[in-house]
Amino acid sequence: MRRIFYFLATNAAIMIVAGIIIQFLPAEYRTQDGQFLVIALVAGFGGSIVSLLMSKSIAKRAAGVYIIENPRNETEKWLLTTVARQAEQAGIGMPEVGIFDTPDMNAFATGASKNNALVAVSTGLLQNMTREEAEAVMGHEIAHVANGDMVTMALIQGVVNTFVLLLARALALAIDRDGRGIGYFLGFMAGQVVFGFLASIVVAFFSRQREYRADAGGAKYAGAHKMIAALEKLKRGQSGQLPDQLAAFGINNSVKSLFSTHPPLDARIEALRTAN
């Protein structure tokens, strides 16, 4: 989940800046359809591509990832060996391997390409999962890299960004047709927030589908029984509370599921059992 969170947060920040910059363009660029379509495409895909290129460095800083270069202990040596073996199986370059400090059982993979990736695992996962379960989690993350999920999500986000800008402009022009007054500015920025929030449902849907594929990859590289065991361990470790900011607004699970980037663990376990 951290992988998607960092990407989306970076993209959102870039798009807000792009939205502000658009306000300083001459009014004819904002009101003429053809010209604004080019602006929306450049800003929309530019935002997602920059987010992709920055994903690894931002994840390292945000999560406080320690990159394993010279293993300090047997666990770090095992991690490097496991990731190297799975990367070879997947036909990708050796990713950077790191550890971040949190009691949660968590891991993520990110990077701009299959041969320039990062796989990071939490201290909580290493402490609470068996080696077999952790191996499956590493396989899941390697599958994300091998499947090109970050690039795929960047392209999807680029399309979504473009539509958000176009819809925000439509709202702004409905308020101020000349595109010169404060009404246009406020309408455009409000439209970015509202339509961006709704567009996250689309991004979340595609993210959930990629998780099923990554689970299948984890089963391939480590064994289906290990992948199932890892998901069951994660399920037992859940608190049962809504794990994100939506909980603060009292949004129920059926609505929350639309915005979730990961499918329910029960559904993921059942998919693996059905496939095997």
DSSP letters for 193-252:
HHHHHHHHHHHHHHHHHHHHHHHHHHHHHH-HHHHHHHHHHHHHH--SS--SGGGGGT--
Half-sphere exposure of 7 (CA within 13 A, CB side): 29
Structure confidence at residue 246 as a pLDDT band (50, 70, 90): very low
In this prediction, residue 82 carries a pLDDT of: 96
Chain segment 100-152, per-residue pLDDT in tens:
999 999 999 998 899 999 999 999 999 999 999 999 999 999 999 999 998 99
**Local structure of residue 102 (DSSP, 8 states):** -
Q: 36-78, pLDDT tens digit by residue?
A: 899 999 999 998 998 889 889 988 988 899 999 999 999 999 9
**What percent of the chain shows pLDDT beyond 90?**
58
Residue 20 corresponds to which tokens in the numbers above?
């502000």
Mean pLDDT across the chain: 87
pLDDT at position 7? 72
Residues known to be catalytic: 141
Instruction: Say what percent of the chain tops pLDDT 70.
Output: 90
Q: Are 149 and 217 in contact (CB under 8 A)?
A: no
Q: What average pLDDT score do residues 199-215 get?
A: 92
Who has greater pLDDT, 237 or 149?
Answer: 149
